[in-house]
Amino acid sequence: MTSTALPTTDDLRARARAALENIGADVAEGSDFPARTPLTGENLFGLTAATDADTEDAIAASRTAFLAWRTTPAPRRGELVRRLGELLREHKSDLADLVTIEAGKIRSEALGEIQEMIDICDFAVGLSRQLYGRTIASERPGHRLAETWHPLGVVGVISAFNFPAAVWSWNTAVALVCGDTVIWKPSELTPLISVACDHLLARAADEVGAPRDVHRLLLGDRAVGEKLVDDPRVALVSATGSTRMGREVGPRVAARFGRSLLELGGNNAAIVAPSADVDLAIQGIVFAAAGTAGQRCTTLRRLIVHRDIADTLTERLTAAYHKLPIGNPFEDTTLVGPLISPAALDTMDSALTRVRAEGGKVLVGGNRRLAEAAPAAAYVEPVLVRVDEQTDVVREETFAPILYVLTYDTLEEAIALHNDVPQGLSSSIFTRDQREAEIFLSAAGSDCGIANVNIGTSGAEIGGAFGGEKDTGGGRESGSDAWKAYMRSATNTINYSSELALAQGVSFL
């Protein structure tokens, strides 16, 4: 199905301007850096990218602000994040408009992204009163041993196009309460939403009396990101994007002994066992595989189905895929919006060519839609492909809505297939057999950072830590104790006796 007509670029430009105006954000128009919309594939405005001098100024100002911010009591730092959360609530609809216009997300997913930002602000405000270390039993009389957590420094946040605002908030809300300052280099594909978020945070800072330079925004392409990566004044580089990007960033930050937090690509799978509740599984699979047009890091890309139910399940999935409404993401009925660019469509097409050559059978989808109405955009039908083996192309992350369906006979075989990819982000099993579910979650089961039961691979809540292993980079963000990546710990030994006792019984003098 193709849902109703697309808006024009003029409509979208007017809508983006209205959203920015409501938020109160000024867009300094320029010519060297375009803001574009994947809905029509056309440019909305020209902006100005940061120069080397702007980057230098941001790093210096951020470092100075850190020196004041680190000694501001953490619950007072929480006041800034509380105010940011209030402003996000107030402007939720306008912010969601910008996410749809720039990233192509359907309305409910765009609103969901802003809700996630509100949620992490709430979490971080609570966290601002819980940044605690432990007290450890000392081997020496009259001594106390303690672990203290201190602010780390300037945090460089480099983010991807597909969560253009939420990833920033996971990092920024937590980093700010931890006493760090933040410099954000958003995706070059989504500058407008970042201008809006930066404006709201600046407003919150003014209102609560926090230093303005606790946050700086630098628009630009990867060259701007590279400056943050190489600068020793940036204590932590938190980079979200492709594994290719992480391979470049990780070693460069390590070379200067900086800290990096990498959130990279996924190649997420679900196992569907014979006992699965098939109705529930179908809903979970279709959302995880086709939602966000297959452009989530947690998108379901491989389905590993027990041979006994594979035909029935694929028939039902094929029928569901035929009915997916594709088109204008602002329409309430649309479930699949555009890919981010025609280049993403080319990458998808070449993966489909490869998998066909390797014996894969396309069951449904893969045709381009709305090519006449929007020749510069990339609307496409999500695809289901039945494959016999996990070939090279199946083991890669193609950032598009392709779901490869494999079959298995034993759970052991399914888990081996599941883990036999370079990435390790998200995973799930659909089963009503508790034994199988527990094996999947055990040390011998899924090797991913996220492992779910009877729910798809995407759509995590902020309360848990988010991230994955292997080529996904090993970072953890958001909830649980992910905050520790944004702080440094110190071990303190305090002698409150009148004797100097040396550890390990050493005697001296």
Q: Which residues bind ligand NAD (CB under 6 A)?
A: 158-163, 167, 185, 187-188, 221-222, 225-226, 229, 240-242, 245, 248-249, 263-266, 297, 397, 399, 425, 472
Q: How far is CA 19 from CA 84, 105, 189, in A?
A: 17, 16, 18
- Report the SS3 class of residue 235: strand
Q: Which of these is catalytic: 109, 263, 397, 436?
A: 263
Please choose, from the candidates 18, 2, 169, the residue with its C-alpha nearest in 3D space to the C-alpha of residue 101.
Answer: 18
Output the CA torsion sign for 353, 357, 358, 364.
Answer: positive
Cβ atoms of 219 and 49 closer than 8 Å:
yes
Single-letter amino acid code for the residue at 456: G
First to last CA, the chain: 86
How many whole angstroms separate alpha carbon 155 and alpha carbon 234?
6
- Report the SS3 class of residue 262: strand
Nearer to ligand NAD, 79 or 109 (CB): 109
Nearer to ligand NAD, 161 or 321 (CB): 161
Cβ atoms of 33 and 67 closer than 8 Å:
no
Least CB distance from residue 157 to ligand NAD, whole Å? 9
Least CB distance from residue 120 to ligand NAD, whole Å? 13
3-state SS record for 375-433:
CCCCEECCEEEECCCCCCCCCCCCCCCEEEEEEECCHHHHHHHHHCCCEECEEEEECCC
Nearer to ligand NAD, 167 or 387 (CB): 167
Nearer to ligand NAD, 4 or 51 (CB): 51
Least CB distance from residue 91 to ligand NAD, whole Å? 23
Least CB distance from residue 266 to ligand NAD, whole Å? 5
Chain centroid to CA 21: 27
How many whole angstroms separate alpha carbon 203 and alpha carbon 467?
31
Nearer to ligand NAD, 397 or 436 (CB): 397
Angle at which helix 52-69 crosses helix 222-230, to 10 degrees, equals: 50
Least CB distance from residue 229 to ligand NAD, whole Å? 5
Least CB distance from residue 497 to ligand NAD, whole Å? 49
Least CB distance from residue 415 to ligand NAD, whole Å? 22
Cβ atoms of 328 and 296 closer than 8 Å:
no
What's the burial of 98, exposed, middle or buried (CB within 10 Å: 0-12/13-18/19+)?
Answer: buried
Nearer to ligand NAD, 7 or 250 (CB): 250
Nearer to ligand NAD, 164 or 365 (CB): 164
Task: Based on the residue annotation, tell me whether 263 is a catalytic residue of this protein.
Answer: yes
Cβ-count burial 412-451 (b if 16+ within 10 Å, e if not): eebbebbbebebbbbbbbbbeeeebbebbeeeebbbbbbb
Active site residues: 263
